[in-house]
Amino acid sequence: MARSRRPRIDGRRKARYRNAEVDFLKPILPDFDIKEWEKKPWPERLKMACQDWVIQGYGTPMPVYLFYVLKVGFYIWMWTWFCSFTPGMGSLRAIGEWWYAPIAFQKAVLWSMAFEVAGLGCASGPLAGRYNPPFGGIFYFLRPGTIKMPFFKGAPFIGGSKRTWLEALLFAALMVSLVRALIAPELGFSLLLPIAILVPVIGVLDTTVFLTARSEHYYSALICFLFAADWIAGTKWVWAAIWFWAATSKLTRHFPSVIAVMQSTSPMTQYLPFLRKAMFRDFPDDLHPSRLATVMAHVGTVVELALPMVLIASDGGTSTTVALAVMLAFHLFITTSVPLGVPIEWNFMMVYGGFVLFGHYADVSAFSIGSPVLITSLICAVFLLQLAGNLFPSKISFLLSMRYYAGNWAYSVWLFKGNSIEKMDTHIKKPARTTRAQLREVYDEDTVTGVLSKVPVFRAMHIQGRILHSLIPKAVDDIDAYEYADGEAIAGLILGWNMGDGHLHQQRLLEAVQNECRYEEGELRCIFVEAQPIQRPYLAWTIADAKTGVIESGETNVKELLALQPWPG
């Protein structure tokens, strides 16, 4: 009998299939002619892009969201698999019988930490500007020669800006320790202690890894696990602190803009342009947050502030049930909005932890901690650190301060003259090429330009981004001669991770980049903007040149920015 053969696909058919795949994932482009738009002055280009953002958002095609749905499915499935190493657990059919077990919760925390440091969690995929590869993390942290951020910059042996075999081996040891604990039938002190030691040690050598592990959350919980008699009560304070401090950080004039911008990018409003317009005062001419967006911001802040207080004070019953239902709705709103940092799995963990700690173990009082060591650790880890972070945001990461979603972050803008951004691809060791180069692999030049036109819009649509109207002319003579890049993308490319922490892409990273690329004066200019302290209405800023260093620094009153539109003029 003749052997069957697969039909041969010629080059034209292959190209057609490839083009169909690209079209399937093609972003929603701005509703204006890209070539004509490029000819216009910067203020007009920014205005058009901001007005388009209201309706089109980031332009994410719906199929891209499937990537994140599948990732969440993998995250949950792997947790059940790790739980299956404990007899009687792991079956999805019988999940109602074991989801609340102490070891199931502890493995969820450990798996979440492993998931994040591997680069699979926050700041992954297209919504974080990662296209090829869609992940960073482990591809950087196991690779000697990549750039890192040491805690003690310049210190002998440990203060260099390049990853050595020591850092790579310690990171490998951390991953092995996490997996070892995850596949253990039981969790004990001997399995948890190596992780508790390795995370801060690696953090001293590279603060990026410490932040990637979401140490303000998962590491704080891990420390509680070391105290077998008190871990449930202690971990309740970790969860409560996250809600409380996140709400506290939103008690500024910045937060209503976050709601407006987030709803402009939400897949839930993608086919509801009237709702997106309703987030702004008078579209298209006045893009200040509307009264609706402001009320939503205030309601969300009150809910998030009251939630931990009610749950800590309750011991079950109606108050606990109502609070948990509100908590679920609160995180469901965030998750379905799919914010650009895409902390989706983190929100799942917050909900799961809320139901385990305050629902199933409602009878365990948060005030029942007996260990003075754990009490002291918690005071430092979930109170004093956050208080200092809100008062002195330039000194402490916004993640460690638990200042999530507040619209009040440190950030930076990197301005590359001509095509000088390409030096990073030829001089810096990293798995990923620049964002423009990644996009060019799958899209035509107009599509690439359309996608990148949205990059400055994200900053401009937030109140603190409007400081750039006055700072960009100070930094460069002709913005049209420069390529605008957000520091988030730069840190992601070079360090392997970033999720809103502007301190990772400020002066220290610029110095590390300059050591590798040797930019000439004026070839790379950076604008560094610090977050507003909760007690002072000012944003501190610095303009620096890659070669010559700081050019100018100062402060701007936030009240001046409140009157401005997202575009100059």
| pLDDT tens string 337-367 | 998 888 999 999 999 999 999 999 999 999 9
pLDDT of 13 over the 80 cut: no
- Band the pLDDT of 7: cuts 50, 70, 90: very low
Query: Closest by alpha carbon to 403, among 461, 322, 464, 450?
Result: 464
9 CB burial (10 A radius; 0-12, 13-18, 19+)? exposed
10 CB burial (10 A radius; 0-12, 13-18, 19+)? exposed
Lowest mean per-residue pLDDT among 4-13, 107-116, 251-260, 296-305: 4-13
Higher pLDDT, 77 or 128: 77
pLDDT of 20 over the 80 cut: no
Tokens of 522: 């004026």
- The DSSP output letter for 466 is G
- Band the pLDDT of 3: cuts 50, 70, 90: very low
Q: What pLDDT score was predicted for residue 340?
A: 83
Kind and range of the H or E run holding 70? helix 62-83
Q: What pLDDT score was predicted for residue 26?
A: 82
pLDDT of 4 over the 70 cut: no
Rg (CA), the chain: 24
Region label for 123, one of left (φ > 0), alpha (ψ between -120 and 50) or beta (otherwise): left
Rounded CA separation 446/402 (Å): 39
Q: What pLDDT score was predicted for residue 15?
A: 37
Q: What 3-state class would DSSP assign to 407?
A: coil
pTM of the predicted protein model:
0.93
Higher pLDDT, 15 or 150: 150
User: Taking residues 475-503, what's their average pLDDT?
Assistant: 95
Q: Amino acid letter at 440?
A: R
Cis peptide before 41 (omega within 30 of 0): no
Q: What pLDDT score was predicted for residue 479?
A: 97
CB of 380 closer than 8 Å to CB of 388? no
Alpha helix (H) ranges present in 445-506?
A: 445-452, 455-460, 468-475, 487-495
Q: What pLDDT score was predicted for residue 58?
A: 87
Cis peptide before 133 (omega within 30 of 0): yes
Instruction: List pLDDT tens digits, range 368-408.
Output: 999 999 999 999 999 999 999 999 999 999 999 999 989 99
pLDDT of 24 over the 80 cut: no
Indicate the average pLDDT of the chain.
93
Q: What pLDDT score was predicted for residue 23?
A: 57
The tally of CA atoms less than 13 A away on the side-chain side of residue 354 is 28
Rounded CA separation 399/515 (Å): 28
Q: What 3-state class would DSSP assign to 73?
A: helix
pLDDT of 297 over the 60 cut: yes
CB crowding 69-107: b at 16 or more within 10 Å, else e: eebeeebbeebbebbeebeebbeeeeeeebbbbebbbbb
**How big is the CA angle at 235 (ends 204 and 98), to the nearest 5 degrees?**
120
Q: What pLDDT score was predicted for residue 341?
A: 84
CB crowding 260-273: b at 16 or more within 10 Å, else e: bbbbbbbeebbeee
- Band the pLDDT of 62: cuts 50, 70, 90: confident
